[in-house]
Structure 1
Amino acid sequence: MQKITSIDDRSINNNKERCRDFSPNHDLGKGFVERYKASAPFHLFYTGFEPSQDANDRSLAINLGDLIHVVMGTIEHSLHVTYSCSVDWLISMYKGAHQNTRMTIIAQKFETCNSRIIPKNVNIYHISMPGRYSSAHAKFSIFIYSSGKMRIIVTSANFQESDWLKFANGVWVSPLLPRLPPHASKMDDESRTNFKSNLLAFLKEYGKYVENMGVNSRNPSNYALSIGTTSDRQKLTSSLSSTPSTIYILGCYSPSSCVPNGANPKEEKQS
């Protein structure tokens, strides 16, 4: 896995034709706290709603700005794992949400409009996949708040503007997860569906790049995390839970394939 130090790096597509000014929207997030409470017990939302749609239809609408707005809490550290990421857009969303967050982005494809140095609070890692049709399609986020609590987001949307504004994607938002007591094991408070152990096993494959993310937080109950796997765009092999409330993350066809030549990211040396 390669760390990117500037966004004119060869791993990033500078798409000038799609460039525009991503103006921060300070209104996003203000009404989301109540909508989140009303969405219990599933907390499942959808992107791609038009502002003109009926208010009732918009009760489950969501934008990334809703999730990261300061009214939801001050985010100290965030992790975004995705297939494709618009760097300028994601950074502008955090600015509009009044968040000065230490951010880690892991993706296979990047897009930017401006060639400039990446902000010091942002770490970007490029996933190099073997094979012509291999894709790293995991899409999720982890937020660590100043309160010490954590939240997990699982979505079918890439971290780019069009996926959140123009297309219908599902977004599952976990409850706020408090830290376990200092004497507790990291596997304490596991749910009957093994959500926590599955998530930790997935994160472990990214090694030092996601170190300490989610280790000491409680687990959202009654949800199962299944890692779908694919080696190409036609063939899907997955390990699916039999429980009805399953959240799916589509990812690499084997964990070690998320880094160059199948190397373990925990052992890889930075050049």
Structure 2
Amino acid sequence: MSQSAHGKWTVSSSDDDDDVPPRSNNIKTERVETPQQDTRKTEPATRKIARFFQSNTDKPDVKSEPSLPVKKEEKPSSLAMGSEARQMAHANQQQPVKYENNNPSPAAKRKRETEEAGWALSSSDDDDDDNDNKDNKHKDRVIPSGQKTQPKKQPSPKRVKKEVDRPPSPHGRTYYIDEPVDYFETSIDEEAETYRFYLNKVVGLDKKYNTGAIHIKEILSPMFGTLKESVQFNYCFDIPWMVEQYPPEFRDKPVLIVHGEKRESKARLIQQAQPYAHVRFCQAKLDIAFGTHHTKMMLLWYVEGFRVVILTSNMIRADWYQKTQGMWMSPLYPVLPEGSPETAGESPTFFKRDLLEYLQAYRAPELSEWMQRIREHDLSDTSVYLIGSTPGRYVGADMEKWGHLRLRKLLREHTKPVPNEEAWPVIGQFSSIGSMGLDKTKWLAAEFQRTLTTLGKGGKSVGPEPQMLLVYPSVDNVRTSLEGYPAGGSLPYSIQTAQRQLWLHSFFHHWKAETTGRSHAMPHIKTYMRASPDFTQLAWFLVTSSNLSKAAWGGMEKNNTQVMVRSYELGVLYLPSAFNLSTFRVQKNVFPAGEGSSGFPVPFDLPPQRYSSKDQPWIWNIPYTQAPDTHGNVWVPS
């Protein structure tokens, strides 16, 4: 048994899932019709998108499109991509476990007795430090109000799944509520945006906390351009749902999906796309074990130009519903004059060069035409730096092309030391955690913290190390969230990893986001930054797909002469020098969004709130039955 300030754990054995971001089972996706409403007389010119969505939602062609049939199987879904924490939450979603204050069932009572000593797990096989990305085989059950725990039964292969009005959800058929009629009423003034950093809209929040936020339907709408073709890079796809996010006039435009699926999961992905002749595929090469294609990016080619969107959301409805996500949306890049030199259209941040180099790393013929389109456009109006990861082992100058060493190089070359530097903490915020060794010297402090604390060329060699504050949801953060316990299906930190690195938990701080109204919308966003001692300024800010893991950021090998990266990741780095500033001022109130605000919209509250001795980080594959979540349910792995 292991013990720390954050509880005790017992574990026999398990298949680890240290660093695998979760995937969804929301495969059968029905359309949700929004009442039609005429807003043309009252809406401002900048809100054309509201009229667009309200006038097209109920079109007959949308209603009449066939939905992809899904067979009832022993597994959560025949088309489900992967089998990590979200699938575990989804496996028995039709039979969640209701919190019972009195007279608990014998099974629940046994679970609670094991919890009295802290975190517990029934059975598993322990892993080694390299197994950051194994599929987890546990399946959790969330049991609804008034229903007693029943022995798990094998489903009958002859049983036919009943059709429902909405996608399956952790809370049953009534979980997804209709968006308000003004949900797609955007207030974004693209010309006035300084940082082009946005949060997603969240159903269930007060309207003001969605003012200035953006939904995928808006990104793909005619408001931002007349779409000709697009590419969707992502980790997890629900293709029927994705197709529905394109407006009717763009819904049959060619789409290339870049993914990392193999074998059976690849076959299921292709099966999803069978009804959609305009959808093509590009498989990312994953030559190193336990790597994933975790990059989330859109390339959008318009009649008017070209646009890049780098984001943190999977291409599934759950990620755009009640989670906190972030994105950077580029300006509309115009076409270069014919005959322009190859170096034309470059930005001061060399974004064009780095994007082409990242796409070249796929070694995929399907991306060649897209690389040529990028060359033909003017990307000079770009103020962010690209931070990518691609699988491989790199030596020499190539070591600084990817991962945290790429971040270290940019911080060394494009920032300057600040007075009282050791008092400026670094902050990491993420939704998944990998194996980092028996103590912080194995990777976190030896490599990653050294990168995050880099400011300027000289570097800090003496004096105390700056604080590292890690923001990750506690059990109570998840329990009281909009989704309740099933939100933890997007936070795959396993007991097998946690019990080997108890030292890490002293770094943890709550997910608290009152300034954005998103304290109850659990984070799938990942951000890293360096803040002033009073947390009013930032030395830099990064939004990325990279969680806290060696697989994502890379780890040094062979006496620091080689770096190994397992996964594809992508993010953008904001440096004050690119905006003619010395530091970024932290924006105090992110919502409602102010026009032309010079402050940076950090997505959670600063300073972060440290865990108390009673708080525990969310662990997705152990039970939580002591208290009900916001839907009256408990969390029981089975």
TM-score range, shorter chain: 0.7 to 0.9
- Pairwise CA distance, 1:189: 2.5
Secondary structure at the aligned position of 1:201 is classed as helix
Which among 260, 268, 275 is matched to residue 108 of structure 1? 260
Deviates more, 1:75-84 or 1:158-167: 158-167
CA distance in 2 between counterparts of 1:186 and 1:256 reads 32
- Pairwise CA distance, 1:129: 2.4
- Pairwise CA distance, 1:257: 8.0
Q: Match for 1:217: what amino acid?
A: H
Query: In structure 2, what is the equivalent of residue 239 of structure 1?
Result: 406
Which among 17, 29, 48 is matched to residue 20 of structure 1? 29
Partner deviation per Cα, 1:43-67 (whole Å, 9 max, x = no partner)? 1111252254132x22232111010
Which among 310, 320, 330 is matched to residue 154 of structure 1? 310
CA distance in 1 between counterparts of 2:283 and 2:237 reads 10
Query: In structure 2, what is the equivalent of residue 268 of structure 1?
Result: none
Query: In structure 1, what is the equivalent of residue 476 of structure 2?
Result: none
Partner deviation per Cα, 1:130-166 (whole Å, 9 max, x = no partner)? 444211111111100022x001100011111111222
Partner deviation per Cα, 1:170-225 (whole Å, 9 max, x = no partner)? 11111100011111123213112111100011112333211232221111322111
CA distance in 1 between counterparts of 2:212 and 2:248 reads 22
Secondary structure at the aligned position of 1:85 is classed as coil
Which among 350, 375, 384 is matched to residue 223 of structure 1? 384
CA distance in 1 between counterparts of 2:259 and 2:238 reads 10
Which among 184, 189, 194 is matched to residue 340 of structure 2? 184
More strand by share: 1
Structure with bigger gyration radius: 2
Are residue 127 (structure 1) and residue 284 (structure 2) matched? yes
Q: How many residues align?
A: 238
Deviates more, 1:93-102 or 1:43-52: 93-102
Secondary structure at the aligned position of 1:60 is classed as coil
Query: In structure 2, what is the equivalent of residue 9 of structure 1?
Result: none
Relative to structure 1, is the Cα distance of residues 249 and 228 closer, same or farther in structure 2, using a 3 angstrom cutoff? farther
User: Which consecutive residues of structure 1, in runs of 5 or more, have no partner in the other structure?
Assistant: 1-12, 259-271
Moved over 6 A (4+): 110-114, 251-258
Give yes or no for contact 1:75–1:99 (8 Å, CA) kept in 2: no
CA-atom RMSD, angstroms? 3.4
Q: Match for 1:209: what amino acid?
A: E
Are residue 43 (structure 1) and residue 196 (structure 2) matched? yes
Are residue 87 (structure 1) and residue 87 (structure 2) matched? no
Are residue 164 (structure 1) and residue 331 (structure 2) matched? no
Q: Match for 1:22: what amino acid?
A: R
- Pairwise CA distance, 1:239: 0.9
TM-score when normalising by structure 2: 0.34
CA distance in 1 between counterparts of 2:236 and 2:349 reads 29
Q: Match for 2:295: what amino acid?
A: A
Relative to structure 1, is the Cα distance of residues 158 and 84 closer, same or farther in structure 2, using a 3 angstrom cutoff? same
Give yes or no for contact 2:287–2:391 (8 Å, CA) kept in 1: no
CA distance in 2 between counterparts of 1:29 and 1:53 reads 11
Deviates more, 1:72-81 or 1:181-190: 181-190
Query: In structure 2, what is the equivalent of residue 269 of structure 1?
Result: none
Secondary structure at the aligned position of 1:141 is classed as strand
Give yes or no for contact 1:69–1:97 (8 Å, CA) kept in 2: no
Query: In structure 2, what is the equivalent of residue 3 of structure 1?
Result: none
Deviates more, 1:189-198 or 1:203-212: 203-212
Query: In structure 2, what is the equivalent of residue 76 of structure 1?
Result: 228
TM-score when normalising by structure 1: 0.73
Give yes or no for contact 1:102–1:122 (8 Å, CA) kept in 2: yes
Give yes or no for contact 1:229–1:238 (8 Å, CA) kept in 2: no
